[in-house]
Every structure is written in C-alpha cells, then in structure tokens.
A and B are shown apart, each in its own frame.
Chain A
Amino acid sequence: MMPMLESVIGTVLSSFIIVIISTFMALVLDFLFPSFSRWTRTFLFFIVLTVVLYPAYEHLQMIRSITQTVATMFISIYPLLTASILASGGSFSMLNFQPAMLLFANGAVILSDKILIPMLSAALLFDIVSRFHPALPFTRMADLLRGSLIGLVSALVAAYSIFITAGGTISWALTGVTSEPIKKLISQNIPLVGSFMTDSLGAIGRYSSGASVFIGAWLIVTIWSVALLPTLKTLLTGFLYRWTAALIEPFANEDITGILDDIGKTLFVLCAVSFLVAFAFIYTALFTVILVKLITVVK
C-alpha cells in the first residue's frame, strides 16, 4: 500500500509544485509589469494546463486500457464459462449463476469504453474552454455531462445490486448496523461519488461474501485490491488536485484554482467509472476461480 501511495504522490506532486511556483512567479511578474498582465495570465494558463493535464490524461488512459483488458477477458472467458456450466450441470445450481450478470458486466465495460471516457474528456475540454475564455462559458454543459455520467453509472450499479440481492446470496457485514456510521462518513466526505462508492462496495461485498465460502478470504482480498487499486489511485490524484487548488487559492488567479478544482471533479467521476469496471473485473475473477475450484473438486 505504501509504495503505491508514494509512487502516486511522487508523480503528481512534482507537477503540482511547478504549478505553485509558476503561479507565484506570475504574481511577481504582474506586480513588476502590470501592463503585461493579460499576457502573463495566458502564459500561466498554458504552463498550468501542460503540467496539470498530463496526470489526468494518464489516468484516463489507464482506466481505458484496464477497461479494454477486462473486455478482452470477458470475451475470452465467456464461451469457456458457458461450456463448463453446461458440462458441470447440477453442481453449479448452488451458486445461483445469473447469465444476466455477465451480460451486465460486459455491457458496462463496453459502455465505459465507448461512451463514458469520451464524455469525460469532452467535459474536461468544456471546463478548460470556459475557464480560459470566460466570455464563452460551457460550465452547464460540463456539469450536465458529469451529472449524467454519474447518473448512468449509479443506475448500472443499482441494477447490478438488484440482480445480486435477488439471487439470495448472503448479505455482507458492511450493510450491518455497525458499519452504518462509516458509510455515512464516506458518503458525506468524498464529493460526488461518495455515496455511490459505499453503495457499490456493499453490492460487491454481498456477492463476494457468498463466494468466500468456496475460495477463501485471502483470495478475495487479493482480487479486491487488484481491482480497486486503479480506483484508489484515481481518487487520490483527484484529491491532490483539490488540495493544490486549496493551497494556492489565496495568491492565485480564480481561473487557475477553478481549473484545478474542475479537473479534480472530473477525476472523481472517472473514479466512479473505474469502480464500475472494477466491479465487472471482480465478478469475472471470482466466477472463474469458483469454476476452476468446482471442476477440480467435483472431478
């Protein structure tokens, strides 16, 4: 966990230090040459954009490549899964296998590859345009894109969780009374995606607790951490953007803090998208492991 944290902060922090220093330099230049303030603002904007957009773009690329990997995994595993389910017959009925889940997971991956990530990049572009050129605001469009993405993703996860709970798998500890305050805390403190995160965590948990009988807790923990690592990385980077915006707010231009805040918001939405992909990944991985285990036990 710690090396991951260090690597994330290390890659992002250097660019944020450049932002802080260049903002301060622009402040000094504005003081020395007040007549050049418009040029200073433009140059500062370009410096900040080139430095700051790179980590965000890297995260977009990362989630996209993960999505493609998961989609390839689905396409390669699906015929195998179906064939083995047909072959193993009765022993599989206890897992209450739902083919609709696979369809959902596959659909979610395709959706996030074809719609969600292009929409997010468009939202990012609209944010930049409306900050760079305040006379041509696209803020409503960007907010609308982000809002509809969140709605789409949460509707999909709600559909997932309905499918899972309808199957009657054992409910997990996170939904219990003891964890309610923690869930409340997370959902209130992580902007935009907090409540979505706790809900979908509960949904994943409900499924994997049913599966832990077959494959053991450690393997589940491994699958979870592998699947949720990109999500955590994205969340952390989004927070770093907002922290930097908060740090430079007293001496920076409103545009610069605004753009940092907006990129942070977009990354939070990306985090929700990656959650969906992680969910699909967890489902497939668990299912494959259970299948292999069952085949080896039954034979």
Chain B
Amino acid sequence: MLQFLTGVLFITIVSSALLLLLPAEKEEEFLPLVKMAMGIWIIHSITRIFGHSLF
C-alpha cells in the first residue's frame, strides 16, 4: 500500500514539474502521457496487491 502511495506521489510531482517546464501549447500532448503512466501504475499495483493469474 505504501509503495502504491509513494508511486502516486512520485508520478504527480514529476509530471507537474515537467508540465511547469514545458511550454503551454505542448501541455495538451503531455497530459495523456501522464494519465497513461498513472493508469499503468494503478493497474500494476492492483495486480500486485490482489494477485493475478498472469503474474
């Protein structure tokens, strides 16, 4: 659980720092990437916490 929370916090901080550094027009392209990263992390954590037949 702690690992999951740390990952969420890490993705948030890194993505917001990158968003600050990127120009405003690139923001639209970058946001889906951030969402994808968060989605991958959440799915990975769910399968790690609850287990899955594939892992």
Contact = CB atoms under 8 A, between A and B. Distances in A.
Contact of B16 (A42, A118, A122, A125): A42
Contact of B15 (A125, A133, A138): A133
27 contacts: A38-B20, A39-B20, A42-B16, A42-B20, A118-B1, A122-B1, A122-B5, A125-B5, A125-B8, A125-B9, A126-B8, A129-B8, A129-B9, A129-B12, A132-B12, A132-B16, A133-B15, A133-B16, A133-B34, A135-B31, A135-B34, A135-B35, A136-B11, A136-B34, A136-B35, A136-B38, A138-B8
Chain A to chain B: the 3 pairs with minimum beta-carbon distance, closest first: A129-B12, A133-B12, A135-B31
Interface in B13-43: 15-16, 20, 31, 34-35, 38
Interface string A30-50: 000000001100100000000
A135 B8 CA distance: 13
**Main SS of chain B's interface residues?**
helix
Interface in A85-125: 118, 122, 125
A132 B19 CA distance: 12
A118 B5 CA distance: 11
Interface residues of B, number: 13
Contacts of B34: 133, 135-136
Interface of B: 1, 5, 8-9, 11-12, 15-16, 20, 31, 34-35, 38
A126 B38 CA distance: 13
Q: Identify whether the interface residues of A are mostly helix, strand, loop, or mixed.
A: helix
Contacts of A135: 31, 34-35
Most A-side CB within 10 Å, residue of B8, B20, B31: B8
A39, A42, A133: residue with the most chain B Cβ atoms closer than 10 Å: A133
A283 B20 CA distance: 54
Nearest to B8: A129
Contacts of B8: 125-126, 129, 138
A55 to B, nearest CB: 21
A38 B9 CA distance: 20
A196 B12 CA distance: 35
Contacts of B15: 133, 136
Nearest to A133: B12
